[in-house]
Every structure is written in C-alpha cells, then in structure tokens.
Structure 1
Amino acid sequence: MAGEQYGLQKQSIEWVKSQLNEQVEIIDVDPLTGGTSSKLFELTVKENDQVLSYVLRLFHKADWLEKEPDLARHEADSLQYAEQSGLLVPHLIAYDETGQENGVPAVFMTKESGSVVLQPTHDNKWTDRLAAALAELHQIKAEDFPYEYFSYNDAFLLEKPTWSKVQNDWMRAFYIVSGNRPKVRECFIHRDFHPANVLWENGEISAIVDWVNACRGPAGIDVGHCRVNLAQMYGISVANEFLAAYQRHAGNLFVYDPYWDLVSLIDTLNGSPTVYPGWKAFGMKGLSDELVRHRLDDYLLSLLDRFDDF
C-alpha cells in the first residue's frame, strides 16, 4: 500500500481515509523534511476529481510522550483555538490522542500553501513580516486557553557549560534566571515561533505551523525564542532587528524585559549546542557547530549588557 515504504503503516492510511471518506484515493505519501521531534507526512488525496493535500503528524518519541502524554490533544486544541482567533494556521481534521488508531498519538490536518524561507532576499521585509505576525498572535488574551507556560530548563540544576569560552558569564545568567520572575501580561503564545515554523507565499506569510507547544504565557518568551534562533542563524544584528520590529508592531501591549530573552536562551541548552537539523533540511548553509556556539556566547554577553543598562 502507498505510504508503507516511507514508514507510514497501513493502520494510519486506513485511519486517514476514515476521517475523510472511505472512497477517497490516497495517491501519494511523502515524508516531510524539517521535523525533528515527530514524523511528518504529506498525503495527496483524490476525492470527487479534486486533489487535496494533508499533513499527518506522528508523535513517536517515547521520552517526550512520557513527559507530555497529551501532545496530540494539545496540538489539536491549539490549532482550533488559533484558527478560531483568526490566525493563519492548518485546519484540524482529526487527532488520535492515545495512539489507539495509529500506534502512536497523531494529528491530521490540512497542508497549507507556501514554504519555509530561511535565506530571504529582502532581509528587512522578511524580519518585519515575522515580527508583525507574532505581534498579531500576541493580541489574543487566551484567558480561557487551558495550557500554561513552563520553562524547559531549571537554571538551578544547570552546570557550567564546558563548551563555552565565557563559562562564568553563563553561570551569572543561571543566577539571574533563578531569581524572581517579573510580572507580565499573559497572552496566547506559540512557544516555538521561529523561521522554520513559518510558511511564505509571494513574499507574505501564508501560515504558522507546529502548534504542539502553544500555551498562555509571557509574550517575551516567543520573542526571545525567535531571537535566539535568529542569533544562531544570522547573528546578533538580525536578532536585534527582529526585536525592534516587534516592538513597533506590538506597541503599548509589550514592555521589553531582557529576563525573558535570557530564559529563552537557557531553555535551548541541552548539552553542547549544535546546528539545528531543521535549518539544514530547509537549505540553510554556512553554519557549523563551532559557529553556533560562538554566536550563542556573543548573544549571551549582549543580553547581560542589557541587564547592566536595564
């Protein structure tokens, strides 16, 4: 059966058909690049002489599911909430919360038009559009959204990073993050907003994808997460350009605090930093593990300077 050669089992094919129409014909199954924490497949379906594309996400990592067994329901809830709020996101078709139908938990959704752009021709416009989309997302208060923000790393438990050339500065950062958190306005946050989760078409954003981590929390976490990604990919100047653009679009709704940048940076630590595989999958060239580590050190120092001036 089509799809099994790509790691998609017959049971998933049958489940997908049952969510659409038993008479549909699945004419193609392709694994999608860029995903690192789940398996993604594009399914091309023919129904009533119409050809449509869908995405099936399979949550296959046991360690992640052990920590968050509700991943499929979480993304399903997030997609519905985001769509109802008017955001450009995939439309949820169905989800398999426990994996009973697919062997592992799954989310089935529409495939949105557009593609990931990591090497933009017009940098300023690209950065500005990214910031505008995030600022629009953060206008949603999400007071009734059940998922709440939490940090991925406990700064109390982190050890001096031996890979870094400024190890003592990292220890200072851990100390700052371990202190009292500033009070902020909470809103709807994506929690994994970065260029590889944004689709573009004709120079405009066509969709934001990968909503499994969405929650209610501080806007600064989304801003900081995108900034630490940009700092690794392009350097501090682009990360700062994004912050300035976001501040313009968010206006009075956002009060910058470098604390959230520092939390976002520390949340990325998991051993010695390496180039994120998704960037390579989407054609990002010229990065090395050594360069990423160097840029993270530089970015850290720039944030600590902000604390001195804050």
Structure 2
Amino acid sequence: MSRHLEAGERIVRTEALHGGITAEMRRLTVGTRDGGTRELVLRSYVAPFSVEHAVEHSEEHAEDWLDREAGALTLLMGTGVPAPGLVAVDPTAAHCEYPSLLMTHLAGRTVLDDEGVETRVPLLARQLVAIHARRPAERPRKYVAWTTADTVVVPKGADAGAWAAAIDVIRKPAPPYEGRFLHRDFQPGNVLFDVSPSGPAALRITGVVDWAATSWGPADLDVAHCSTNLALLHGPAWGLRFAEAYEEAGGVLAAAASERLYWRVRDGLACSEEVQAVSQPWREAGRPELTARAVEERLDGYVTALMDVLG
C-alpha cells in the first residue's frame, strides 16, 4: 500500500465496508502532508475466493476478475461514467495477503429501501444507457451465462407450470444480439447515490462500483439483471418496470418479445441458485424482512409475471 501513497502520506484509519458477496472491502483513510485526509478503497478476494478457487458461476479466478476490473476502470477514466479511479492492482497476491485492487473512494451510498424507488428507477435506467454507450477500442471478453436449464432451483411452492415453461425457454440457443459494453452486475447494490436532505428531486447517482464482471454482450442481459434485483428488492412489478424505464431513457432492447423473454428469464432463473447469497447482504444493509424465503416468493412472482407478459 505504502508504495502507492505520495511522499509524506500514511494510512491513519481502516474501516470494513459491508454488502459485498465475493470480496472483502476496506475504506482506507490516508493522512496527507498538509494535515488533511483522502480516502481509498482496497478490494480483496479472500478465501474461498482466492487464487486457487473459482469465483461465482464460472471457472474464472481472482486474477481474471481483478485484471478485468482494472481494465474497465482504466477504460472508463474520463468518460463521464462515475466509476472509481484505478490506483494499483495486485492480481496474484505478490504484495498483499490476497489478490487485491486499490481504487479511489466515491462519495454516496447504496439505497435499498422501498421508499423513493419510483425516483431511483429512471436514474438507474439512464445510467445504464450511458454505460452501454461506451465503445471501447478493445472489447472485454464475451459474457458468461450464469445458469443452465439443469441447475435451476425451483422454489418450494412455486408455480410449477410457469417454471417448467421458463426453463424450456433457456434450453434454446441464445438469440442473436448486437454487442454492447456490459457492467454485468448492474443493480442497486452496486450504485451509489447522493442522498440529499433536500428530498428526492435532488437525488443523483455518484458512483457505479464492482466492474469485475465487465463483459461484451446484449444490453438485454444487463437490463435483465437489474430487473431481477429490483423485483426481489421491491416486488415483481418493479422488475417489469425497469425495461420500460431503460427504453424511455433511450436504450434499445431486443425487438422480439421472445428474445426479451429469453434474457430476462435467464437472469431470473440464475438467481434461483443463489437466493441465500443475494439476500443476506440485503438483510445486513437494513432489509431484515428479505429472508431467503421471502426472496424466493418474489422470484416466483417475477418469473411467473415474465411468462404471463412475454411468454
């Protein structure tokens, strides 16, 4: 760490940041030569997400994820997309205990409450349209699908017919798509807001974090992922609403309903495999009512609604 500080600077305080699933986050307060402070964030892939272990749904390792995030942060510098600035990266844990990335700290906080969701959804949609507008000279790697028809976990008491039909949807080959620069985990837990005391009218996004899964793929996939998260956080209707908000903000989705259904169902079904992992950080962040069971019920409602509306 000290190698990446300026002369005369030192770390005066560290604080654990909560809410992440795959990595440990620390906010580091750096004392500057003039007596002031500045803040950095250290992201570390701790066991079991270490060099030897695959992370999440693919055979990728911490090194792959950190290299991709470092590349994305470099690419986004100066683009107007409010991403952290890259300070340093140690993908193989040559200098740190674990594979780690050091970046600038962004102001703001995540907002997961039901109150004000109608104001935040259009802001999220506009931000995602801006991300998809990036045209990097070098594309990130192609997206990795996060589920298969054979690994879906049908929730207890779910609408068996709707889920069987949904699973059949993703047995088919992926529809053709126009590639876009994807965040790949764009959802309320990775977006920071400036929560002004002057009310919802002054609300603005101050940052988008966690670029480790940056990919190339259909805009529908990012929209589907945010839609699923909104459905589980705030109810199925908000999952359905997000795609409309994205188009209202100027985003372009697949033309055919069957193609939109494919991407949205694929993401919803992927979530069935990790309800506990998704819901626990939400409970820790102040939504204790979002038990794994409650989230399963919302997921069932959302998948059923998708089949009704688009199926």
Shorter-chain TM-score tier: 0.7 to 0.9
Match of 1:29 among 14, 23, 34: 14
Match of 1:51 among 37, 40, 63: 37
Corresponding residue SS for 1:36 = coil
User: Which aligned pairs between 1:93-108 and structure 2 lie closer than 5 A?
Assistant: 93-108=87-102
Structure 1 residues 254-284: Cα deviation after superposition (integer angstroms, max 9, x where no partner): 3351211011112223266576222123222
> How far apart, in 2, do the equivalents of 1:130 and 1:37 lie?
23
Q: Which residue identity is paired with 1:169?
A: A
Deviation beyond 3 Å, 4+ runs, structure 1: 271-275
Structure 1 residues 126-172: Cα deviation after superposition (integer angstroms, max 9, x where no partner): 111111111111112346223211101222x3266363422343232
> How far apart, in 2, do the equivalents of 1:210 and 1:275 lie?
15
Check conservation: 1:96, 1:106, Cα contact below 8 A. Answer: yes
Structure 1 pair 120–255 and aligned structure 2 pair: CA distance change class (3 A): same
> How far apart, in 1, do the equivalents of 2:261 and 2:2 lie?
48
Check conservation: 1:149, 1:215, Cα contact below 8 A. Answer: yes
> How far apart, in 2, do the equivalents of 1:166 and 1:254 lie?
28
> Is 1:118 aligned to 2:112, yes or no?
yes
Check conservation: 1:147, 1:216, Cα contact below 8 A. Answer: yes
Uncovered stretches (5+) of structure 1, i.e. residues with no partner? 1-15
In structure 2, the residue matched to 1:78 is 72
- Cα RMSD for the two superposed structures: 2.0
Structure 1 residues 54-85: Cα deviation after superposition (integer angstroms, max 9, x where no partner): 10000111433563341211111111112243
CA apart distance, 1:23: 3.0
Corresponding residue SS for 1:301 = helix
Structure 1 pair 94–51 and aligned structure 2 pair: CA distance change class (3 A): same
Match of 1:295 among 295, 298, 304: 298
Structure 1 pair 160–72 and aligned structure 2 pair: CA distance change class (3 A): closer
Uncovered stretches (5+) of structure 2, i.e. residues with no partner? 197-202
In structure 2, the residue matched to 1:3 is none
Structure 1 pair 37–164 and aligned structure 2 pair: CA distance change class (3 A): farther
Corresponding residue SS for 1:276 = helix
> How far apart, in 1, do the equivalents of 2:165 and 2:253 lie?
26
TM-score by structure 1 length? 0.87
Q: How many residues align?
A: 291
CA apart distance, 1:102: 0.6
Q: Which residue identity is paired with 2:249?
A: H
Q: Which residue identity is paired with 1:255?
A: A
Structure 1 pair 102–90 and aligned structure 2 pair: CA distance change class (3 A): same
> How far apart, in 2, do the equivalents of 1:48 and 1:159 lie?
55
> How far apart, in 1, do the equivalents of 2:134 and 2:243 lie?
19
Check conservation: 1:34, 1:279, Cα contact below 8 A. Answer: yes
In structure 1, the residue matched to 2:187 is 194
Check conservation: 1:275, 1:288, Cα contact below 8 A. Answer: no
Structure 1 pair 271–134 and aligned structure 2 pair: CA distance change class (3 A): closer
Match of 1:64 among 50, 54, 58: 54
Say which is worse superposed, 271-280 or 132-141, in terms of deviation. Answer: 271-280
Corresponding residue SS for 1:41 = strand
CA apart distance, 1:111: 0.6
> How far apart, in 1, do the equivalents of 2:189 and 2:212 lie?
15
In structure 1, the residue matched to 2:200 is none
Q: Which residue identity is paired with 2:45?
A: F
> How far apart, in 1, do the equivalents of 2:309 and 2:160 lie?
18
Check conservation: 1:58, 1:107, Cα contact below 8 A. Answer: yes
In structure 1, the residue matched to 2:199 is none
Check conservation: 1:142, 1:187, Cα contact below 8 A. Answer: no
> How far apart, in 1, do the equivalents of 2:272 and 2:76 lie?
29
User: Which aligned pairs between 1:222-301 and structure 2 lie closer than 5 A?
Assistant: 222-251=222-251, 253-255=252-254, 257-270=260-273, 276-301=279-304
Say which is worse superposed, 285-294 or 32-41, in terms of deviation. Answer: 285-294
> How far apart, in 1, do the equivalents of 2:170 and 2:85 lie?
37
Structure 1 residues 231-268: Cα deviation after superposition (integer angstroms, max 9, x where no partner): 111111222222211110124x3335121101111222
> How far apart, in 2, do the equivalents of 1:88 and 1:272 lie?
29
Q: Which residue identity is paired with 2:228?
A: V
Check conservation: 2:279, 2:295, Cα contact below 8 A. Answer: no
CA apart distance, 1:289: 2.0
In structure 2, the residue matched to 1:42 is 27
Check conservation: 1:43, 1:53, Cα contact below 8 A. Answer: yes
